[in-house]
Each structure stands twice: as structure tokens, then as C-alpha cells.
Structure 1
Amino acid sequence: MYILGLTTLGDSAAALIEDGRIVAAAEEERFSRKKHHSGFPYKAIEFCLDHAGITLKDVEHVGHYWKPWILRHKAMQAVKSAFVSRDMFRARADRGIAQVGDSYLGMFKHPKRLREHFGPSDFKFHYFEHHQTHAASAFFVSPFETAAVLTWDGTGEDTTTLFSRGRGNELEVLRRIKLPHSLGQFYSAVTNYIGFDMFAGDEWKVMGLAAYGKPKFYDFFREKVLTTNGHGDFKFNIQVLDHHLAKHYKFPDAIVNELGPGRKRGEELTEHHWDVACSAQKALEDTAIYLVKQIKEMTGEENLCMAGGVAFNSVMNGRIFHETPFKNFYVQPAAGDAGCSLGSALMVWHQLLGNKREVVMDHAYWGPGFSNDECRSALDEAGLRYETLEDDVLLPRLAKMISEGAIIGWFNGRMELGPRALGARSFLADPRRSDMREILNHKVKLREWFRPLAPSMHEENGTEVFGVEHHDPFMITVIEVAEEYKDRIPAVVHVDGTARPQMVSRKTNPRYWALIDEFKKLTGIPMLLNTSFNVQEPIVCTPKDAVNTFKNSNFDALVLENNLVIRERQLPDA
């Protein structure tokens, strides 16, 4: 039985499962080349069907990640905001009218859209609650038979934080926290206060910048903005900092009087902004740890699954992993809304149809893959000179090039699901070089100086590098690097002495593991610097995308499967 799952607003995506097993999954942005693509995922659906060798008529069920008729709570929040401020009400009303007309009501047309675009089919269409699809995306592919499940984001239909328990093939909802109290909206508002753009996904920048600051304003955030009440709850005070006003870079007098005016886009980032980021990050972390301890008390479980956009805060995750009573943790690589496409399909298979669980998602490689012939066609079309080499020649050569300072565009196997490059579509470099972060951020990635870079490392060496037992195959935690290792790998150690590792398994990505092994043979270092293969656009998907990035940016070599392109060997006009 084939089941299709859909995410159809921001970070739209599609996932296809067959008898409960993942067949394919991808974000629409990788095909449209528009970051955080919002809209119906036609191309992602087409990929999923093509990869399985089926048509829509072979799909029996379609799961959708949103119930568009749940509008009352948001409407009431808009009305209440009118008693606080006219601007606050207007910001909600304008956004709400647009969402209802263009987004929510449009969801009722999705079954028709599918049939019009992909042909007739007798599938049954199911609408699920947003946060329950988040929970399903994590628990149903986790290695746990039972677990506490905590999902948190900006908002779903009305819920911002969901406490659940997973047992076997069922999820039980235990508690909800609803708007306006939202950790995701708190962090997004801070993002815009610091002059970044929440709609571009710039929350990552706040997290990276926070390490440079001091928590000077922590007490303000915890006492006036994001508070806990001792009853397993938290409150986000929109009279002090409002997400909807922040979308328009407007901020209440209460926060301006305390912190000063928000930074305008393009203005210099000062230590004051570092301190605001640091304070907000610590406020988020402490509130999150408080909630994690609450769900531990509620469930008594030893295992914790997390999903939702807040679960991408890897600094927070690192503290949760090591400072809370849970023994085991699972966060899947597409923890944001894109992963709800998978969660929707799994909700049908397990929760609705009652089927047993048989799958553990231990890797992220569910997107398109390409043969050597397809890669060579793209290179030939671009007029690039290349060599085709077997791995026993290619991998040692690449390791030597990297050890001598080369930056490699690495295109290997099926594309990753989720925002992290995990050794399928990556820029690779030498973690030992202290200047490599500046080179990559300024000359290749064309992004801010403070953005950290991450290590991909042999999973066998985790304890050696971090001094504690730690396993993270999806690069979703930040952890302190062991003192004796910090000076050996400066390019991947952030200013606060931490790193965000990907533990690479020989089982799930043997070729990438082997490349790291060749570098280890040369240098004694069991890792490579890894950052996403993209420059101011979505991560590359196809060989043509990779070639375009190579031709329009500044890195030393491109590897498309077994085909090696070296920049200095190209003709001047290539």
C-alpha cells in the first residue's frame, strides 16, 4: 500500500511510504530553487511517484499536515489583541485574512489539485492536526517502543507546544499549550529585533551569534517576556514583544525602553546585539528544559522524541540531551514542517490503519540520486573537463587535496531530507585550518562571519572528541569539545568551545565514512569540515545544480559521484 504525505505551506514537501517503509521524501525548494518554498509541492510529489515507479492511481491514501477548519482560536486571539494595541490587531487581521483566503481554504482543493495534475485516482484524503504530524514524524520512526514526545514550533492551527506519549503504533495527546504562548514565535520575534529576517529562516543566525555575547538581559526576558509558572506551563507576553508586529519590524515601547530600538537591516552588529541574542537563547533553553522536565514527570518515560521548528535549536538540544533526566533521545533530520509530510503518511499507516511499526529512520538520504552517466552528461553539457575515477583512487586523492587546503563540492548518492547537509550534498574542507571558517563564510558561502561550521566525523570517535558518550547522526545537537581536541580542529569549534557534530555511520553512508577514513589516515583526525553545498540558495539537488554552483562560485574541486572536476584545469571560459 502506497501512502503520500504532504506539507503545503512554508517548507512544502512530499513523502511516500509503502507498507510503512519510507520510499522517498524531499522538500519542494530543492526543485523550485526557492528557499523555504511555500505552496503545493508538485515537483516533490512528482519525484516521489517517479522514484517508486508508480502513478497517483497507485496511491491509496494521502495525508495532509493541517486541519484548515480550526480557525476559532486564532480569530479570538486577534480580537483580544485589539484591546492591547491597534497596530497589534491590524498585524494579525491582515495576516489572518490572507491566510484564510489563500492558504487555509485552498487546502480543501488539494484532492482536486492532485487529480488534475497527476491523473485520476481513488485515494482517500485525510487532514491531520499539525502538531500530531510533527509527533508522528519523530516517534513512529524512532528506535523506541515507548517514549515521551514533545513538539514545539511557531504554531499549528492553534497549538504551539504538544505533550504526547508514544506507545507502539499509537500516539496519545497529554497536554497542549496554545497561542499566543509560543517558543517559536518568541525566537522569531527576537530574530527580527536583531535585524534579521524570520521569513528567511534567520533564527539560525541568532543561535550562532548568541555564543559571542553575554546574558545581560536574561532577567528581563525571563521575568517580562518568557515566563514559567511552576505548573508545567509558560507564558509569552506579547505586550512586551509581539511576533506579528516583529514581522513588520515594529516593537512595543516596553521592549524598546528596556533594550533600545530594534536593529535596522544592514546596520552594524554590535556587542549589544550579541548580548540580546545570548540572553534570548538562554531564556529559550531554560524554558525548554523546564518543559522537558515536566513531560518527564507526566510520563515517567526514559526516552524522549522531539520535533517542530524549535527542535532545530541545536544548542538547546545539546543541553536537553545532557541536563535532563531522560536517558535516550531522538530528533529526526526534518524536524520542521517539511517533516510533517512524512508524519502525515505515518499517521495514516499507524494511527489510522493500526499497522505495526517496523522502521527506524537512521539516515536522511531519501531524495533524488543520480548515476555516473547522468553526472557526466551534466559535465559535458557545461563544457567542464573531468576525470572518472574508481573510489580506491578517488577517495585517497580527495583526502590529500583537502589536507592541503582544497575546498571540495561533494555530490554523493541520494539527497538529504531536511536542512542539514549530511554527506550527500556538502562542501568539505580541513577542520585543522584556523582560517577555513573565514574562507568558507566570506569567499564561498557569502554569509556572515559569525556562522559556525560543523564536523562530520566517524561515529566511533565521539567519546574521544567530546569527552562524553554522544551520538548524533543528524547534526541537531551542540556539545562542548574535549579540551585536548579544541586546538586540533579550530575550524569547526565555535567561539564558546562547542561543535555541532554529525556522527557518520559506516552502515548508512559507507562512501562518506571511507572518505573521512582516508583523511584520518593522513592526518590522524577522524573528521572533515562539512557545510551545505549551496551559495545563497537551497542545497543543490541535481548534477546541473552542482555544476551551476561550481561555475558561479569559488571552490577548488567538484565531485559528482566518481567524476572529479578541478577548477585550475578548466579552460578560461569554462
Structure 2
Amino acid sequence: MYILGLTTLGDAAATIIRDGELIAAVEEERFSRIKHHSGFPFQSIQYCLREAGISLADVEHVALYWKPWVLWHKAMQALKSAAISRDMFKARVDRGIKQVSESYLGMFTYPRRLRKRFGPSHFRFHYLEHHLCHAASAFFVSPFEKAAILTMDGTGEDTTTLFSIGKGLEIKPLKRIKLPHSLGQFYSAVTNFLGFDMFAGDEWKVMGLAAYGEPEYYDFFSKRVLSLNGHHDFQVNIRVLDHHLAKHYQFSEEIVRELGPPRRPGEEITERHQNIAASAQRILEDTVLRLLQWLYEKTREENLCLAGGVAFNSVMNGRIINESPFKRVFIQPAAGDAGCSLGAAYYVYHQLLRRPRSFVMEHAYYGPSFSNEECAEALRNAGIEFEILPDEELLPRVARMIAEGAVVGWFQGRMEFGPRALGNRSFLADPRRADMRELLNKKVKLREWFRPLAPSMLEEISHKIFGKAHYDPFMITVLSVTEEYRSRIPAVVHIDGTARPQTVRRHINPRYWRLINEFGKITGVPVLLNTSFNIQEPIVCRPEDAIRTFQSANFDALVLENNLVLRYKE
């Protein structure tokens, strides 16, 4: 049985499963080259069908992560906002009209569009609740038979936070928090107050900047913006900070009076901005920890699954691992909306069809791959000289180049699902060089100086780096690094002494494991600096994308499978 899962608003994506096994999952942005692509994921669907070796006629169920008719609550919130300000009402109405006319109504045409594009099929089409798809994306691919589940984002149809419990084939909602109270929208509004762009996914920047500041404005945020209502609820005061006005960089007199003027895009980042970021980050973490305490008391489960865009906050996740009452935490690599395509497919298979569970998501490598010859042909077409080397020669040579200071574009195997490059579409460099972070951010990635870079490490040494064994194949948690390793791998240790690791298991990604191991043989440090293979665009997908990036950017070598390209002769 084949089931196709879809997301279409932001971070459009497609996933296909066969008898409960994940066959393929990919974001549309990787093909369109448009970040956070919004729209029907035609190319992703085409890839999924091709990877499965089937046509649409073989698909029995198609599942969408949205119920487009759930509009009443949002409409009422828009009307209520009119009593606060005309600008707030207008921002909501303009956004709502655009969503309904361009997105929600179009969802009713999806079955017809699928058949028109991919041929006749008798599939059954399912419209599913957004947050239940988030919950399913985590629980049904986790190793847990039972778990508490918390999903948090900007909003689904009208829900922003969902508390659930998962048991076997069933996810049971326990409590919903609805608009306008949203942790995701709060953090996005702060993102724009700091002069970044929520539509570009710049919330990452706030989290990175927070490590440089002190939570000077914590009391203001906790009392006037994001406040706890009991120990299982929270409220966002949109009179003080409103997500929809923040989209247009409009802010209330009160917040400007308390925090100072909002930062303009491109303006110098000051200590005040760092402290605002630190304050927003801390109140988010503390709020989520309080919610999780209630969820634990309600369920008494030791396992926790997290999903939704807020679950990408890896600093928060580190505190959850260390401070929450849960013993085990699972977050899949595409925790945001793209992952809802995964959740939609598994929700149908397990919860609706009652089919038994057998799959556990241990890696993120479910995107397209390209043969060695396809990579070589792309290089020939680009007129680029290259060598073809077996792994026995290539891996030690690349490891040595990195140890000598080279930045390498590394392209192998199937592309990662989710926003993290995990050793198949990565820039790799030497984590021992303290200046490597500045070099990569400024000269290669062309991004802000404060953005942290992450380590890929052999799982076997995680206990040495963090003082305890740690397993995170998805680079989605932040932990404190031991004093010894802070000095040994400074390029991947943030200013607060933490790092966001990818732990690599040999049987999951053997070639990447061997490369890290070769680097360890040379340097005594089996860790590589790993950041995504992209420059102001989506992560590269095809060999042609990698070649184009190599031709336009400033890094030293390109590896496409077993094909090695050097910018400068060794």
C-alpha cells in the first residue's frame, strides 16, 4: 500500500510510504530553488513517485496536512482585533483574504490537480488537522510505543499548541491552545523587531544572537508579552506585540518605550539587540518547560515527542533534555511544516487504517541521489576538470585537505529531509581552527558574524565532548561542551560554551563516518565542522546546483561522489 503525504502552504513538501516504510521525502524548495517554497509540490511528488517506482495509479491514499474549512476562530480573532486598532484589523484581514483566496480554496482542487498532472487514480483524499500531522510526524516514526507529545508552531488552522498522548496506533489530544496565543508567532514577532525577516525563517538568527546577550528584558516579556496562565497555559498580549503588525515592522508604543526602537534591517547589532534576543529566548524556554511539567504530570510518560517549528529551537531542546522530567526525547529532522507531509502519511496508515507500526526514523537521507557518472557528466558539461578516485584514496586525501585548512563542498548519497545538512550536502572544514567560523560566515556563507556552526562527530566520542553519551543524528539539540573540547574544537563551540552536534553512526552513514574517522587519525579529533551546502539559497540538491555554487563562491574543493574538483592545485 502506497500513501502520499503533502504540505503546500510554506515549506511545501511530499512524502511517500509503502506498507509503513518511508520511501522518499523532500521539500519543493530543493527543486524550485525558492526558499520556503509555498504552493503545490509538483516536483516533490514526481520525485517520490519515481523513487518508489510507481505511478499515481498505484497510490491508494493521499493526505493533506490542513483542513481548509476551519476558519471560524481566525475570523473571530480578526473581528476582535478591530477593537484594538485599525492597523491590526487590516493586517489580519489582508492576510486572511490572501490565504483563503490563494491557498485554502485551492486545497479543494488538489485531487483534481493530482490526476490532471500525474494521470488517473482512484486514491482516497484525506484532509487532516495540522497539529495532529505534526504529532504523527514525531510519534509514529519514533522508537516509542507510548509517549507524551507536544507540538508548537505559529498556527495550524486555529491551534498553536497541542498537548497529546500517543499509545500504539492512537494519538489522543489532551489540550489545545489557540490563536492569538502562539509561541511561534511571539518568536517571529521578536525576529522582525530585531530587524530580521520571519518570512525568510530568520528565527534561527535570534536564537544564535541570544547567546551573546543577557536577559535584561525578561521581566517585561514575562509580565507584559508572554505570560503564564496557571502551569499549563500561556497568553500572548497582542496589544503589546502583535505578529501580524510585526510582519510589516509595526510595533506598539509600549514595546518601543520598554525595549527602545526596533532595529532596522542591516543596522548594526548592539548589546541592546543581543539582550532582547536573550530575553525572548529565555522566556520561550521557561514557558515550554512549564508546559512540559504539566504534560508529564498529566500523562506520567517517560518518553516525549516534539514537533512544530518551535521544536527547531535547539537551545530550548537542550534544556528540555537536561531539565524536563522526561527521560527520553525524540524530534524528527523535519519538525517544521515540511515534516507534516510525513505525519499526514503515517496518520492515515496507523491511526485511520490501523496498520501496525514497524518503522523507526534513524536518519534523514530520503531525498534524491545521483550516480558517480551523473556527477561526472555534470562536471564535463560545465567544463570543469576533475579526478575520479576510489574511496580508499579519496577519503584520506579529503581529510588531509581539511586538516590543512581547506573548505570542502561535500556531496554524496541521498539528500537530507529537513533544514539541516547532515553529511550528504555539506560544507566541511576544520573545527580546530578558531578563525574558521568567521571565515565561513563572512567569506563563504555570506551571513552574519554571530551565526554558530555545528560539529559532526563519531557517536563513539560524544561522551568525551559533552561529559555524557549523547545521540542526536539530526543536529537538533544544543549541549554544553566540556572544558577540554572547548579549546580543541573552538570553531564549533558557541560563545556560551555549547554546541549543536550531529552524532554519526557507522551503519547509518558509513562513508561520512569513515571521512570523519580519517580526519581523526590525522588530527586526533574525530570531529568535522559541518554547515549546509548553500549560499543564500536552499541547500543544493543536484550536481548542477553544487557546481553552480562552486563556480560562484569562495571555497577550496568540491567532492561529487567520487569526483574531486580542486580550485587550486595541491
- TM-score (structure 1 length as normaliser): 0.99
Letter paired with 2:32: S
Query: For the Cα contact (< 8 Å) 1:218–1:282, is it kept in 2?
Result: yes
Q: How does 1:157-196 map to 2 (within 5 A)?
A: 157-196=157-196
Structure 1 partner of 2:10 = 10
Which secondary structure does the structure 1 equivalent of 2:109 belong to? helix
**Aligned counterparts of 2:541 and 2:457: Cα–Cα separation in 1:** 23
Q: How does 1:526-537 map to 2 (within 5 A)?
A: 526-537=526-537
Q: How does 1:377-388 map to 2 (within 5 A)?
A: 377-388=377-388
Deviation at 1:569, TM superposition (A): 4.3
Structure 1 partner of 2:227 = 227
Matched, 1:359 2:364: no
**Aligned counterparts of 2:54 and 2:505: Cα–Cα separation in 1:** 31
Letter paired with 1:256: V
Which secondary structure does the structure 1 equivalent of 2:455 belong to? strand
Structure 2: unaligned runs, 5 residues or longer: none
Letter paired with 2:305: C
Structure 2 partner of 1:320 = 320
**Aligned counterparts of 2:106 and 2:141: Cα–Cα separation in 1:** 30
Structure 2 partner of 1:544 = 544
**Aligned counterparts of 2:174 and 2:230: Cα–Cα separation in 1:** 18
**Aligned counterparts of 1:282 and 1:526: Cα–Cα separation in 2:** 33
Deviant stretches of 4+, over 2 Å: none
**Aligned counterparts of 2:254 and 2:303: Cα–Cα separation in 1:** 40
Deviation sequence 1:405-435 (CA, Å, 0-9, x none): 0000000100000000000100000000011
Identity %: 70
Deviation at 1:469, TM superposition (A): 2.8
Matched, 1:446 2:414: no
Deviation at 1:267, TM superposition (A): 1.2
**Aligned counterparts of 1:52 and 1:162: Cα–Cα separation in 2:** 33
Structure 1: unaligned runs, 5 residues or longer: none
Letter paired with 1:476: I
**Aligned counterparts of 1:231 and 1:367: Cα–Cα separation in 2:** 41
Matched, 1:252 2:252: yes
**Aligned counterparts of 2:187 and 2:137: Cα–Cα separation in 1:** 23
Deviation at 1:471, TM superposition (A): 1.5
**Aligned counterparts of 1:469 and 1:458: Cα–Cα separation in 2:** 11
**Aligned counterparts of 2:542 and 2:73: Cα–Cα separation in 1:** 42
Deviation at 1:230, TM superposition (A): 2.0
Matched, 1:330 2:330: yes
Deviation sequence 1:147-172 (CA, Å, 0-9, x none): 00100000000000000111111111
Q: How does 1:359-438 map to 2 (within 5 A)?
A: 359-438=359-438
Which secondary structure does the structure 2 equivalent of 1:487 belong to? helix
Matched, 1:500 2:500: yes
Structure 1 partner of 2:217 = 217
Structure 2 partner of 1:203 = 203
Structure 1 partner of 2:32 = 32
Deviation sequence 1:303-326 (CA, Å, 0-9, x none): 000000000000000000110110
Letter paired with 1:455: P
**Aligned counterparts of 1:251 and 1:502: Cα–Cα separation in 2:** 38
Aligned pair count reads: 570
**Aligned counterparts of 2:347 and 2:439: Cα–Cα separation in 1:** 45
**Aligned counterparts of 1:156 and 1:71: Cα–Cα separation in 2:** 11
Query: For the Cα contact (< 8 Å) 2:472–2:502, is it kept in 1?
Result: yes
Q: How does 1:61-100 map to 2 (within 5 A)?
A: 61-100=61-100
Matched, 1:278 2:281: no
Structure 2 partner of 1:109 = 109
Letter paired with 1:414: R
**Aligned counterparts of 1:120 and 1:46: Cα–Cα separation in 2:** 15
Letter paired with 2:299: T
**Aligned counterparts of 1:533 and 1:555: Cα–Cα separation in 2:** 11
**Aligned counterparts of 1:562 and 1:470: Cα–Cα separation in 2:** 31
**Aligned counterparts of 2:402 and 2:297: Cα–Cα separation in 1:** 48
Query: For the Cα contact (< 8 Å) 2:339–2:418, is it kept in 1?
Result: yes
Which secondary structure does the structure 1 equivalent of 2:230 belong to? coil
Deviation sequence 1:265-292 (CA, Å, 0-9, x none): 1111111100100000001000011111
**Aligned counterparts of 1:268 and 1:556: Cα–Cα separation in 2:** 30
Deviation at 1:261, TM superposition (A): 1.7
Which secondary structure does the structure 2 equivalent of 1:186 belong to? helix
**Aligned counterparts of 1:509 and 1:296: Cα–Cα separation in 2:** 34
Structure 1 partner of 2:513 = 513
Which secondary structure does the structure 2 equivalent of 1:558 belong to? strand
Query: For the Cα contact (< 8 Å) 1:385–1:569, is it kept in 2?
Result: no
Deviation sequence 1:357-414 (CA, Å, 0-9, x none): 0000000000000100100000100111111111111100011000000000000100
**Aligned counterparts of 2:134 and 2:460: Cα–Cα separation in 1:** 30
Query: For the Cα contact (< 8 Å) 2:231–2:291, is it kept in 1?
Result: no
**Aligned counterparts of 1:224 and 1:365: Cα–Cα separation in 2:** 43
**Aligned counterparts of 2:103 and 2:111: Cα–Cα separation in 1:** 15
**Aligned counterparts of 1:102 and 1:364: Cα–Cα separation in 2:** 31
**Aligned counterparts of 2:564 and 2:266: Cα–Cα separation in 1:** 39
Letter paired with 2:398: L
Letter paired with 1:560: L
**Aligned counterparts of 1:393 and 1:569: Cα–Cα separation in 2:** 17
Deviation sequence 1:17-59 (CA, Å, 0-9, x none): 0001000010000000000000000000000001111111110
Deviation at 1:128, TM superposition (A): 0.3
Matched, 1:120 2:120: yes
**Aligned counterparts of 1:516 and 1:256: Cα–Cα separation in 2:** 48
**Aligned counterparts of 2:47 and 2:506: Cα–Cα separation in 1:** 27
Query: For the Cα contact (< 8 Å) 2:486–2:497, is it kept in 1?
Result: yes
**Aligned counterparts of 1:213 and 1:332: Cα–Cα separation in 2:** 29
**Aligned counterparts of 2:97 and 2:542: Cα–Cα separation in 1:** 38
Letter paired with 1:293: Q
**Aligned counterparts of 1:125 and 1:164: Cα–Cα separation in 2:** 25
Query: For the Cα contact (< 8 Å) 2:231–2:290, is it kept in 1?
Result: no
Query: For the Cα contact (< 8 Å) 2:534–2:549, is it kept in 1?
Result: yes
Structure 2 partner of 1:20 = 20
Letter paired with 2:392: D
Letter paired with 2:141: V
Deviation sequence 1:455-512 (CA, Å, 0-9, x none): 0000111111011232211000111100111010010000111100000111110000
**Aligned counterparts of 1:469 and 1:150: Cα–Cα separation in 2:** 25
**Aligned counterparts of 2:297 and 2:85: Cα–Cα separation in 1:** 38
Letter paired with 1:474: F
**Aligned counterparts of 1:569 and 1:483: Cα–Cα separation in 2:** 38
Deviation at 1:253, TM superposition (A): 1.1
Deviation sequence 1:38-87 (CA, Å, 0-9, x none): 00000000000011111111101000000000000000000111111111
Query: For the Cα contact (< 8 Å) 2:133–2:344, is it kept in 1?
Result: yes
Letter paired with 2:76: M
**Aligned counterparts of 1:32 and 1:497: Cα–Cα separation in 2:** 38
Structure 2 partner of 1:236 = 236
**Aligned counterparts of 1:264 and 1:429: Cα–Cα separation in 2:** 33
Query: For the Cα contact (< 8 Å) 1:64–1:126, is it kept in 2?
Result: yes
**Aligned counterparts of 2:80 and 2:507: Cα–Cα separation in 1:** 54
Deviation sequence 1:338-371 (CA, Å, 0-9, x none): 0000100101100110001000000000000010
Deviation at 1:218, TM superposition (A): 0.5
**Aligned counterparts of 2:350 and 2:45: Cα–Cα separation in 1:** 21
**Aligned counterparts of 1:291 and 1:102: Cα–Cα separation in 2:** 35
Give the alignment's Cα RMSD to 1 decimal.
0.8
Structure 2 partner of 1:51 = 51
Which secondary structure does the structure 1 equivalent of 2:534 belong to? coil
Structure 2 partner of 1:470 = 470
**Aligned counterparts of 2:408 and 2:48: Cα–Cα separation in 1:** 29
Letter paired with 2:405: G
Letter paired with 2:179: L
